Structures are given as C-alpha cells and as structure tokens.
Amino acid sequence: MMWGDGMGGGMGWMWLFWLLLVVGTVVVVLVLVQAATRGRDGRTGRGGTAAPPTGPGPRRSREILEERYARGEISTEEYRERLRNLEEDGR
C-alpha cells in the first residue's frame, strides 16, 4: 500500500522525533538544575532539613582560638573572654 507520493510515511514519524527531542531537552534541563542546586553533602535542602553550617564547627572554633593564643596573637585576658563567649553560644 502506498502513501500518496511516498512522502507521507516519513512525515508521520516526524512528530514523534520532535516530541522526543522536546521531552529529552526538558529532562536534561531538569537534571542540570537539580545538580546545580544540590548541596555539597548531597542534600537539596528540601523536606525540612536544616542548611549545613557555614562557619567552623564548635571544636574547630576552639582549636583556632587555642592556636592563636599559643602563637601569642591574643592575650590571656582576650583568650579567656573569647573562650567564655564560645561556651555561652553553646559551641
């Protein structure tokens, strides 16, 4: 059975090609957006999860303070004051 001049069969598949192209493009864009917005630890930040801390952790804060005191960058009085502040902040 012939489809007119033979061109109708090819045109029938053309809509499928364009549909798959558009769907594929949308999927690629969604994957790229998700990858770009994903946090370093793999969490997206959705679902009520807290954002990761931006500064050094409690131990690291104290280590930095101790290192600065050991190098003589801060006085004993300043060391004690900052240590007290760290403890008050619950770090």
The answer to whether 27 and 21 are in contact (CB under 8 A) is no
**Nearest by Cα to 73 from 64, 60, 62, 81:** 64
Spatial separation of the C-alpha atoms in residues 51 and 15, rounded to whole Å: 45
Q: Answer whether residue 46 shows pLDDT above 90.
A: no
**Nearest by Cα to 86 from 52, 60, 58:** 58
- pLDDT for the residue 21: 94
Q: Each residue of 15-29: pLDDT tens digit? A: 889 999 999 999 999
The answer to whether 91 and 62 are in contact (CB under 8 A) is yes
Spatial separation of the C-alpha atoms in residues 53 and 37, rounded to whole Å: 17
